[in-house]
A = this chain, B = another copy of it.
Amino acid sequence: MTTKTITVVRDLLATNKQAAAAIRAELRARGILGVNLLSSPGSGKTTLLEALADRFRGRFRMAVIEGDIETERDAERVRAKGIPARQITTGGACHLEAKMIGQALKDVPAEIDFLFIENVGNLVCPASYDLGEDVRLVLLSAPEGDDKPAKYPQAFLSADALVLTKSDLLPYLPFDPRTAAAEAQTIKPSLRIFRISALCGDGVDGLAAYLVEALERLRSGRA
């Protein structure tokens, strides 16, 4: 990269960090847990949100901000579960930025417990952008291969928990969840690991409990 490019990128990230800090402060003050979901396209982010909507129904209120390059399809899927969803269509941009979340927050209902942000499907660029979340989840689906943490380290380094998705496909795939988990924890030893199949429901309760604990910590001021 040229010096000019590096300067522009550094300015962008600094501006983003400021906007993210303001969002984090606002969400904490309102007692809302912000959760940023990162992954490749098709790793199961929307399907996980649908499964969590079923788990939380009647117990917790959630809202979703959907990031996509084009289409409102993911927001429509989430709304079909009775969950308010605000679509951000980036029109080409490869990641969400905090200022987009700041704008979208105005359309998010005030009385919620969880704000999920589904990032653009991209295992690279979204990792560099803090969106003001308190919990960052990185999803890795079994069909993607257990070699991905070492090849795309920033997403795993910046996450709080790794969600290994589509575990129902394990019998048909050369994927070893222990290898994936071990590689990810080599990059970030404190990374929590969850293995789920959102389609079958396996493992979703454990992940939901982890999020509820994080919400309780935030509300007791221990976040």
Contact = CB atoms under 8 A, between A and B. Distances in A.
Contact of A70 (B71, B94, B153): B153
Contacts of A144: 40-42, 143
B151 A69 contact: yes
A169 B152 contact: no
A40 B121 contact: yes
Nearest to A147: B73
Contacts of A141: 42, 143
A166 interface: yes
A35 to B, nearest CB: 21
A175 to B, nearest CB: 9
Contact of A124 (B12, B122, B152, B172): B122
30 contacts: A40-B40, A40-B41, A40-B144, A41-B123, A41-B148, A42-B143, A42-B148, A69-B152, A69-B153, A69-B154, A70-B150, A71-B147, A71-B150, A71-B151, A73-B147, A73-B151, A94-B94, A94-B124, A121-B151, A121-B152, A122-B122, A122-B123, A122-B124, A122-B125, A124-B125, A141-B143, A143-B143, A143-B144, A168-B172, A169-B173
